[in-house]
Structure formats: C-alpha cells, structure tokens
Structure 1
C-alpha cells in the first residue's frame, strides 16, 4: 500500500524533473511533491507551478467528496424537520428543539473524533499502518464511554426542557423525539471515527456514496413511517437513527471486508484498551475546539430574540445563518482535505510539502469564498425570497448582506486553518484561541453594539465578525510562524510514544 501520490521515492531525486527541450513542461506523474519543492535546479516560480499541479489534483480529490458528505449529513436533519413540519406546528417546534438539543452531543462526538485525524493521518504518512486500526478502536471505545453519561442526560430531557422554560406540550413531544434519537449517540461514536480513519488514508469517495444512499433511504422510510404506518414524530426520529446506523454498518463492512485496508485494519486488538486516558485528553481538546465554534453562532441567534423587534431580527439572522452555513460546508470540505494533507506529510517527514499543502488549501478556499461573496452581493435583494415572501424581512436581509459577505470570506480561511491545526495536533491551543476570540471578544462586542449602541442585528453580526476575524488573524500568524521541521519531529515523537504504549500524548 502506498502512502499517497506525493510519497517521495529515492528514484524521484535521481531522475530529471523537467525535460529541458519541452517549452511547457508538466510534472511527471511519479514525481513526489517534496522532491519538486526541494529541487534547487528549478526556479522558485517553476517549483510553485509544478507543486501546484500536483497538490491541486490531490486537494480537489479529497475536498469535493468531503463537501458532499457534510452536506448529506446536514440534509438528513433538515429532511426530518421538513417531515415534522407537515405533521403540524407543534411537531415542527418539537423536532427543531430536539435537534437543537442533540446538536450538543453531535458537536461533542464530532470534535472528539477529530483527534483520530491527527493520529491516523500522521501514522499513515509515517507508514506505521498497523497503528491506524488501534487508533480507530481506541477512539471508538472512548467516544462510546462518553456517550453513556450523555444518554443518561438525554433520558431526562423532559424535566430539563421544562426547567429551561419551554412550553409543556412542546417539551413532551420534543422528549419523545429525543428518545427516538438516543441510539444515534453510539452511531456517532462509530461513524465519526470510521470516517476519520478512511479520510486519513485519502479514502473519501466511498463515504460520500454511503452518506448519499443513507439520505435517500431515510427519505423513503420516513415517508413510509409517517404516511403509511402513521408513526408520527417518534417514527421520524427512529428512521433518522436507523439511517445513521445504516451508515455505520456500511462503513464498518467496507473497512473490515476490503483487502485495501489489510495493512491498516488487522482486526480487534487488546492494545486498543491501553492509553485510553491520554486519548481522552487529546479528544477533549478537539471537542472543545469544535464545540466552541458550533455554539458561537447559536448563542448569537438567541441574543437576537432579545432585540427590540425579535421576530424580524430572528427571521433575518436565521436566513443569513442558513446562507452562511451553506457556504461554510464548502470550507469544511477543504478543512478535511487540509487536515489529511498536513498530517500525512508531517508523518511522512515532508516539512516543505506540509507547508505548501497548507497554503494551497487556504488560498483555493479563500478564492472560492470571494466568488461566493460576490454572488451574494449581486443577489442581496432577492436571496431572502427563497425562504420567505415577507418584504420587511427581505429588506433586513439585504441590509445585512455586506456583513454576511465578509463572514463568508472569513469562513473561507478560518476552517481551513483549523483543519491544519487538527493535522498538526494543535487542538488544545485552538480551543483557548476560540474561548478568547468568540466568548471574550465576539459576543461582548455584539451585545454592546446591538443593545447599547442600538445597532440591533447589525451590531450582533459585527460582534461575530470581530471574533471570527481575530481568530483568523491569530491562526494565520501562528501558521506563518510555524517551524515545519519541528512539527515533523513532534509528529515522530507522538507516534513513537503511542507506539511504545506510553500513556502520553504530546501536543
């Protein structure tokens, strides 16, 4: 099994990279990225050109299926809400409330699963293939153990919702909906770790196919459960859970029964029970990093309900958040690609390739986000009519579109740099950055501008921009100042420690 298309072979360094008689040379398919970037016989411009030809092909091959996976996963939750809305207003409110509550464990599991990206990606780059299966099992055990107290917590969702002041009838229906989702917690534990295990090996297209098939199955089964069997809200929740478990079973079978992974999956091992505490600590840093980002926008939406015209502000911000989330999915795909490429190259001992991959992914995502922002500004007077026919809401959205465009551009950079952080194992550091930028700077600024200076929704959104901008600048500076040779050494030490079964993880 090869590491990647960029793996450096000794023969690459001995053969000429360019035919001197060719006026428009193209990089040979068997030339590694590191060998191109370190070839002093080429000019800087030519090295960048040849490196870009190699890297862009790999980048888009990883990013596009990842974008589809995240869009489909979001689509499953959205489709459940659509079916609930056809049952009635209270059912829609209950499903929305239940999904919002379940967003906590979704973010927690997704964040903890991202630790697998760091370890599996670096192990794969270092060709320590047997360690990937151990990391997968260890991560699944840790996430399943974390899922136990979360299951107990959600079992008492009804009294908790009542304590939070939610209406009794909606809380009761939401608690029934949540009860149908409880087995989904453990589906997250397996699905996210298996997904990261595959991504670390640059295997992303099968996950896209599996997710797409699960979405179609969910829509068909939900229609049958609601319209034929009359199961109502609990049927919608149970079908959503079944769909997640279908993805889990499909990915598990794909990994365990495929000869492609005979070196990275060697079966169940007792080694997976060693070092659980160390893996938990690394996972917590990842979870905090992801959750703080996810909760940030949700808190700002809650603040909008306290403004002078809460209905208009909530409608306006909800539409803008939906548009922002859609564009964010593109950046999340490049986040996954950047994480894979960075961790693989660090594990392979290729510092220049890791550096080049980082800035290539950031630049491409940034250019795409600029294009999205221009389209948004050109359609600012019409985009809200996709969601509503209210003229006042349309005008409010149009006024907020310049702020939204800035957010879209920042979201083209920040998630990619977060992916680089995961690839390098900087999760704990980024978690501290998120706390400071979002909750010490962004939310207070939003409150002051929105309430004290009476800028309403624009003030709250300006606070969000301020926090995201500060975080982006810090990550840009840290990435720019990174000593990639030292990161290669850190990756090697991390893998050595885990390979020796020591209960320590270096970040």
Structure 2
C-alpha cells in the first residue's frame, strides 16, 4: 500500500443533505487523484538513482538525475494539463451534467499550476532524502501548510473565486514548498557537491530515467487502483450503501495505519540504495533486517490499537448501530491486511532501493489482479460474503504481494544498477 491511496466517504457516512455539487465534485477529484499520484510514482526512480549515486560517491550525478526527473515530470504534467484544461468537454461527452462538468473543469484548471509544483516537489524530496537530510523538510512542509489554511480561507470567502479558491490555494502552497526547498538546496553548503548547477547532460539521461520511472509509477498505481476497484465493486452489492460504507471505513483505516510505517519504508529505501551504491550488499541486508524488526514492533502496536479501539474509529464515521456491528465483524480481516501492508511497505522500499521496480510491477499484477480481485469477486458475489468477501480477497492479494516481495528479496542479487556504475567523465567528483 502506498500513501497515494485516497480517502473514501460514502452514503451512510455522509450527511444526506449535502449539496449535489459537492458529491459530484468529489467524484471528479477522485478521478484526478490517480493522475496526481502517478506523478508521485514517477519520482520513485530517484530513490534508486540518487540513493545509489550518493552511496557510490558519485555526488555530481545526483543533480543530473534530479534535473532529468524534473524534465520527465514537466512533460507528463503538460500532457495531463491538456486533459484537465478540456475536462469540461470530456466530462460532458461522458454523460455528466453540464453545470457540474463546468464547475469540475474550472476547479481542475486552477489546479494545473499545482500539478507541476507537486511533481517537482516530489522529485526534490527524493533528492534530499537520498542524502539522509530530513529535518529541514519539516520546515519546508510546515510553513506552506500553515500558509495554506489562511490562503484557502481568504480566496474562498473573500474573493469571487469561491470553490476555485481551494484549488488556487493548493497550487500556491505547493509552489511555496518548491521555492523554499529549491532555495535550501541551492544555498545550503551540504549540497555543494550534489547540486553542481543546471547541466545540459540531464537531457541525455531522460530516457534512461524513464526506464525506471515508468515501472515506479506502475507499481504504485496498480496497488492504488486495486483499492479503487474494491470501492466500485462494493457499489454493486445488494445493500450497496452498507457495503460501500464499510469498505470506505476499512480503506481509510488501512491508509492511516500505513502512514505509521511509511517513513520506515522511505528510510530503508535510502539505506539500501546508499549501501548498494557503496558496494556493500551485506550492509543493505543488515539494514533491512533491522527495519523488519522495527516494523514488527510497530505493527503489533498499531493493530492492537485498531483491534481494541475499533469502536472509536467507527464513531468518527457514523452513528448507525448497523454499521458499528458490521465494522466490528470486519476488524479481524482488517488487522490481517494491515499486518501484510506493513511488511510489504518495507519490502517495497527495499525494491526501490535496489532498482527492482520492473519486477514489482509483475508481482503487483499477479497479486492484485490474478489473485486478490478475482477472489474478492468470487467471495463477495458467488459466496455472498459481500463486504467481508471483498476485503478478504484484498487481504489475500496483499499477502501474495508480501510473499512475492519476500521471495524477490531472497532470490534476487543485491547489486548496484548499471546506470550508477559508470558516471560520465564530465561530472564533478569530490
């Protein structure tokens, strides 16, 4: 599971008196999220390139990798921006209400600047994290977050932008983050060797970067889409309101639980990449062993809190006794999926650090679309387990994914990727 997984809300959770526009706008935003998180996925290749480059003391290459990745992000964002600009016509052609399509189209147009900023920001974050620099990122995230609340309120309530102000505020906040982090990278002495300035050589590495970036995006999106498909399947159940509400609560719980180990996944990706870049595969394996032990402790704490506090979680979504009781019966399955998700997060981080993204794509296809989703459909529809069947199928997919990643880490050779083995002669070395 990844942080790209979006939150869901459904009929029994929502206030029935909410305006129809908000409900439809939510649908359009859910369509935009997969595109946004694909951009996040493209940055996953930098965890390999920058991590191994830094570990191999090829410091000048990190800046080249960053520039190549930003070029890829800009091209992708430009293509998506074209679709977003004409989203009103696209939505109308798909049968959406004309008024709602216009509002959604306007919202997406104001979000276009943020799409570019979000892509650049994700790549810059990977560049900095690969060098084990973390503390300044808190400031670069905290200041724009505080600023966002004020800007969003002002644009929505004090200007004629209305709901468009929320998208504009998001774009402003993202660009503030980009400028702050960019200024820090350019001015901080610790990046003197890894950021040698803009280089035309980055153009030569765009296609090499894409070879790893596209699988990185695919491995993220394949998992994200599986959760979205699960929600769509829930809407086909006989009692669709109850089923979609339960699945939405489980998706949100899974997402929040995963956030506790997301940092460990990013950390092990950096550690593995650094060690492999330095030619120390045993060090990478030791770091992985430590991360797995920490994950076990963290997972036990989180699932215990979820198991004993599931009523508190359910109360945050609904007052319906029916939903309360149904969610309580889902908790054992939810605990199992969370446990699998914790460990696959670590193994996915290892895979990114090693440059195995293309192999993980096949694992995710097999786990979710040959095992998880077919089982979910059979259990939910044929055996009439409904919400339990859907989530049990997903849990089986996550278990298969975890086992596949475990086997991959055991049988595959832990080595530097070829791209990191032969730096260009004109790159500044310390």
Q: TM-score, normalised by structure 1?
A: 0.78
Who is 1:366 aligned against? 296
Who is 1:344 aligned against? 274
Structure 1 residue 277 corresponds to structure 2 residue 202: no
- Cα deviation, 1:176-201, whole Å, max 9, x if unaligned, reads 21111111221122111100000000
Aligned residue pair count: 418
Q: 1:166 to 1:463 in 2, by over 3 A?
A: farther
CA distance in 1, matches of 2:367, 2:113: 35
Q: Higher relative CO (CA 8 A, sep ≥ 6), structure 1 or 2?
A: 2
- Cα deviation, 1:219-278, whole Å, max 9, x if unaligned, reads 111111222225321111111111111111111111011111101011111111113212
CA distance in 1, matches of 2:138, 2:320: 37
Q: Is the 8 A contact 1:362 1:416 kept in 2?
A: yes
- Cα deviation, 1:145-191, whole Å, max 9, x if unaligned, reads 12221111222222333344444443332222111111122112211
Who is 1:236 aligned against? 166
- Residues 22-421 of structure 1: pairs in structure 2 closer than 5 A: 89-421=19-351
Q: Is the 8 A contact 1:121 1:343 kept in 2?
A: yes
Instruction: Name the SS for the 2:43 alignment partner.
Output: helix
CA distance in 1, matches of 2:313, 2:66: 43
CA distance in 2, matches of 1:196, 1:427: 16
Who is 1:11 aligned against? none
Q: 1:265 to 1:459 in 2, by over 3 A?
A: same
Which of these two proteins has the greater Rg computed from alpha carbons?
1
Question: Where does structure 1 lack aligned partners over 5 or more consecutive residues?
Answer: 1-69, 79-84, 502-507
CA distance in 1, matches of 2:38, 2:425: 29
Q: TM-score, normalised by structure 2?
A: 0.92
Q: Is the 8 A contact 2:61 2:194 kept in 1?
A: yes
Deviates more, 1:294-303 or 1:153-162: 153-162
Who is 1:60 aligned against? none
Who is 2:419 aligned against? 494
Instruction: Name the SS for the 2:311 alignment partner.
Output: coil
Deviation at 1:428, TM superposition (A): 0.4
Q: 1:322 to 1:462 in 2, by over 3 A?
A: same
Instruction: Name the SS for the 1:203 alignment partner.
Output: coil
CA distance in 2, matches of 1:136, 1:409: 34
CA distance in 1, matches of 2:424, 2:227: 39
CA distance in 2, matches of 1:231, 1:139: 33
CA distance in 2, matches of 1:259, 1:95: 45
Q: Is the 8 A contact 1:187 1:248 kept in 2?
A: yes
- Cα deviation, 1:64-97, whole Å, max 9, x if unaligned, reads xxxxxx98x999x99xxxxxx9x96234324422
- Cα deviation, 1:397-456, whole Å, max 9, x if unaligned, reads 111111111111111100111010000000000011111111111111101111111110
CA distance in 1, matches of 2:163, 2:110: 9
Q: Is the 8 A contact 1:381 1:395 kept in 2?
A: no
CA distance in 1, matches of 2:302, 2:348: 20
Q: 1:497 to 1:146 in 2, by over 3 A?
A: farther
